[in-house]
């Protein structure tokens, strides 16, 4: 089984503007839509759509549980979130205007998890996860679930012997690297941050790959590097008409894990993940991609071993 863990999920509120957003101006919203938010939940949506069973785990607030569950159901996400009493799952605002250089995301702080809920969640993982499973931990930490809790959680998963993928950033990414998880996806800024001695980028990626089975470094418009078995693959995604880049990275990660779980070769896995992410950006919400498009886009992914 694949489990995704979104500790601080969200309902994405998509705000479509007629023009480019500007300060000191009234920016008129022409349409509003909702989508699932939070990175692990996006992973779950992608993994399910690619035909692989999985369960989305994490926390959700009871005040707007109906609304959150409605979005999960509309996305056909199987889930088992722990309810946090007296709180609401956050909303994240995605502003989609005519700006060609990407959307703007405004994220609420989100849940505060009480101590007893943190402990209950960690205990649940101990009994639920076993060595054949894959677990994706993705997104920011809510208040109350602190760095030592993340450390404890990763150690529980390591003890279970499962595959651990982390789509984290900042201190949480550093923690994942220290604990030698199986998959990470730093972006170019996070990579610079991790590379404290300023090593050559490729040498540094190879050194990360000595302890982390799959390292994917996203380089923005320049594509990405994927390092597996000390081989470095430069990946150039297909050129598509971008409508909304939000969630493209989450979609990549979900598809990558689906590929690994299906036993695809590294190249097939990269091809699938890049094609899914490329399809995602052609959709105006934050999670949708199209399986027919993915088949076409797969042929346009450029992968060069360097
Ligand atoms: O990557 C997109 C997204 O998952 C949005 O759906 C949004 O809810 C946000 O990221 C959450 O990110 P955060 O880092 O705050 O957990």
3-state secondary structure 81-120: EEEECCCCCEEEEEEECCCCCCCEEEECCCCECCHHHHHH
Please report the pLDDT score of residue 102 as a whole number. Answer: 77
Q: How far is the CA of 280 from the centre of ligand 1 (A)?
A: 15
- Which residue's C-alpha comes closest to atom 11 of ligand 1? 38
Report the distance separating Cα 150 and Cα 155, nearest Å. 8
Q: In sequence order, what are the beta bridge partners of 225?
A: 217, 234
Please report the pLDDT score of residue 219 as a whole number. Answer: 83
Domain housing 110? 2-305
Q: Is 38 near ligand 1, meaning CB less than 6 Å away?
A: yes
Return the structure tokens found at 243. Answer: 């409508």
pLDDT tens, position by position, 178-210: 999 999 999 988 999 999 888 998 999 999 999
The closest-lying atom of ligand 1 relative to the alpha carbon of residue 107 is 15
Q: How far is the CA of 304 from the centre of ligand 1 (A)?
A: 30
Please report the pLDDT score of residue 97 as a whole number. Answer: 86
pLDDT tens, position by position, 48-90: 999 999 999 999 999 999 999 999 999 999 999 999 999 999 9
Query: In this structure, what CATH number is given to the domain that contains residue 166?
Result: 3.40.1190.20
Contact 102, 94 (CB under 8 A): no
Please report the pLDDT score of residue 218 as a whole number. Answer: 87
Residues with pLDDT less than 70, the chain: 100
Q: Is 139 near ligand 1, meaning CB less than 6 Å away?
A: yes
Report the distance separating Cα 194 and Cα 282, nearest Å. 32
The closest-lying atom of ligand 1 relative to the alpha carbon of residue 287 is 6
Q: In sequence order, what are the beta bridge partners of 36?
A: 11
Please report the pLDDT score of residue 288 as a whole number. Answer: 96
Return the structure tokens found at 112. Answer: 């505060």
Please report the pLDDT score of residue 18 as a whole number. Answer: 87
- Which residue's C-alpha comes closest to atom 3 of ligand 1? 38
Whole-angstrom CA distances from 204 to 36, 103, 173, 174 are: 35, 31, 16, 14
Q: How far is the CA of 141 from the centre of ligand 1 (A)?
A: 11
Q: Collapsing DSSP states into helix, strand and coil, what is residue 138?
A: strand
Q: How far is the CA of 230 from the centre of ligand 1 (A)?
A: 30
Give just the sign of the alpha carbon dihedral 144, 180, 164, 235: positive
The closest-lying atom of ligand 1 relative to the alpha carbon of residue 286 is 6
Q: How far is the CA of 135 from the centre of ligand 1 (A)?
A: 18
The closest-lying atom of ligand 1 relative to the alpha carbon of residue 246 is 2
Contact 3, 135 (CB under 8 A): yes
Number of domains in the chain: 1
Whole-angstrom CA distances from 239 to 295, 300, 304, 305 are: 15, 8, 17, 20
Please report the pLDDT score of residue 220 as a whole number. Answer: 72
The most distant pair of C-alpha atoms in the chain lies apart, rounded to whole Å, by 55
Q: Is 244 near ligand 1, meaning CB less than 6 Å away?
A: no
Report the distance separating Cα 291 and Cα 34, nearest Å. 21
Contact 134, 2 (CB under 8 A): yes
CA angle 87, 250, 36 (to 5 degrees): 40
């Amino acid at each position: 089984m694949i489990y995704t863990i979104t500790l601080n999920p969200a309902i994405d509120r998509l705000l479509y503007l007629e023009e480019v957003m500007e300060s000191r101006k009234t920016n008129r919203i022409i349409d509003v839509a909702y989508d699932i938010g939070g990175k692990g939940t996006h992973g779950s949506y992608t993994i399910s759509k690619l035909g692989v069973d999985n369960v989305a785990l994490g926390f959700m607030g009871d005040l707007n549980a109906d609304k959150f569950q409605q979005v999960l159901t509309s996305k056909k996400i199987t889930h088992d979130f722990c309810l946090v009493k007296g709180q609401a799952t956050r909303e994240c605002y995605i502003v989609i205007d005519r700006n060609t250089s990407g959307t703007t995301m405004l994220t609420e702080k989100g849940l505060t998890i009480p101590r007893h809920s943190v402990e209950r969640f960690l205990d649940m993982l101990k009994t639920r996860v076993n060595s054949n499973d894959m677990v994706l931990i993705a997104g920011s930490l809510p208040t109350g679930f602190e760095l030592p809790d993340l450390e404890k959680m990763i150690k529980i998963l390591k003890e279970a012997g499962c595959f651990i993928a982390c789509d984290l950033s900042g201190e949480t990414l550093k923690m994942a690297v220290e604990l030698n998880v199986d998959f990470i996806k730093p972006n170019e800024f996070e990579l610079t941050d991790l590379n404290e001695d300023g090593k050559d980028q490729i040498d540094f990626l190879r050194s990360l790959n000595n302890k982390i089975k799959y390292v994917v470094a996203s380089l923005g418009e320049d594509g990405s590097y994927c390092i597996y078995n000390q081989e470095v693959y430069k990946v150039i995604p297909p050129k598509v008409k971008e409508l909304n880049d939000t969630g493209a990275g989450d979609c990549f990660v979900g598809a990558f894990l689906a590929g690994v779980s299906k036993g695809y070769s590294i190249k097939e896995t990269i091809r699938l993940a890049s094609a899914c992410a490329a399809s995602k950006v052609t959709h105006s919400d934050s999670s949708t991609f199209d399986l027919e498009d993915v088949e076409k886009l797969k042929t346009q992914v450029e992968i060069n071993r360097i």
